[in-house]
Amino acid sequence: MRVLIFETSELAVDRVVRAVVEQIERKPASILGLATGGTMEPVYDGLSAAYRSGSVSLAGVTSFNLDEYVGLSPEHSCSFAAFMREKLFDRTDMRSNRANLPVGNAVDPDAEAARYDALISELGPIDLQLLGIGANGHIGFNEPTSSLRSRTRVKTLTRATLEANKRFFADGETPPKYAITVGIQNILEAKSILLLATGSAKAKAVATMIEGPLGSYCPATALQMHADTTIVLDREAAAELTLTDYYSQVHPDGQDAPYG
């Protein structure tokens, strides 16, 4: 794991935006794994700004989002499909027919999960997988005790996750209790992984992910098994790490330090 610690969340976000832009520059037909959540909003703002300024085009990109709520149609305003259109797709030249998400209101959610898994296998591997992290250590919607070998399937959301995400739903609206999510094995099959965490609410999960023992109680610890994972943090999210001095020695201010 490369652990990059930045003084502010803005600098951390800039680093992630730059990594995505560089990935698309290297390979315009990149396959990106995309995440939702509040942490990703400034990343998508940055990518949209990069598109507007002419620094990047998403016209050749194919994307696979991590997850979608069971029961919500892609048109539902609280669906992750709507989130992605609003935050990224409609603000760039991303081709809608190459932007993939599980269909939340599919008649048979298990069959939809299998379809989505097969499509990723057919078109993949994903070149760059973007991730956030839940305060309980989930990635995608792989809640604690998810199999570290899991593939795309329906997961029951924890009460804590429902509570954390209810802010995206209107008053009186009940957030769905289930989601279709890619599995941890799918995530580990990406060629490279870039996880962004900002703010003190993520500090405990971040410390366990990086320094804790591998185990499904904190699903993000599975990233310890991936050979090309970069964790981008702001100072607050890094607050509970033990080896901070070492990470800063290897990557001072989040930069790549030359040998010697």
Taking CB under 6 A as the criterion, the residue among 31, 50, 66, 190 binding ligand GLP is 66
Nearest approach in angstroms of CB 39 to ligand GLP is 3
In sequence order, which residues have a C-beta less than 8 Å from that of residue 248 and are 6 or more positions away? Answer: 5
Between the alpha carbon of residue 138 and those of residues 18, 25, 124, 221, the distances in Å are: 25, 30, 23, 9
CA angle 2/233/193 to nearest 5° reads: 45
C-beta nearest to ligand GLP: residue: 132
Nearest approach in angstroms of CB 133 to ligand GLP is 6
Q: Are 32 and 94 in contact (CB under 8 A)?
A: no
Q: How far apart are CA 142 and CA 218, in angstroms?
A: 9
Q: Are strands 31-34 and 2-6 parallel, antiparallel or unpaired?
A: unpaired
Task: Specify whether 22 is catalytic.
Answer: no
- Candidates 130-138, 183-191, 225-233, 242-250; binding stretch for ligand GLP (CB under 6 A): 130-138
Taking CB under 6 A as the criterion, the residue among 140, 183, 219, 254 binding ligand GLP is 140
104 binds ligand GLP (CB under 6 A): no
Nearest approach in angstroms of CB 249 to ligand GLP is 28
Nearest approach in angstroms of CB 67 to ligand GLP is 5
The conformation of residue 65, written as its DSSP 8-state character, comes to E
Task: Specify whether 142 is catalytic.
Answer: no
Q: Which of 68, 117, 127, 138 is catalytic?
A: 138
User: Token pair for residue 169?
Assistant: 């739903």
Facing residues of 230 across strands? 2, 194
150 binds ligand GLP (CB under 6 A): no
36 binds ligand GLP (CB under 6 A): yes
Task: Specify whether 136 is catalytic.
Answer: yes
Q: Which residues bind ligand GLP (CB under 6 A)?
A: 35-39, 66-67, 132-134, 140-141, 165
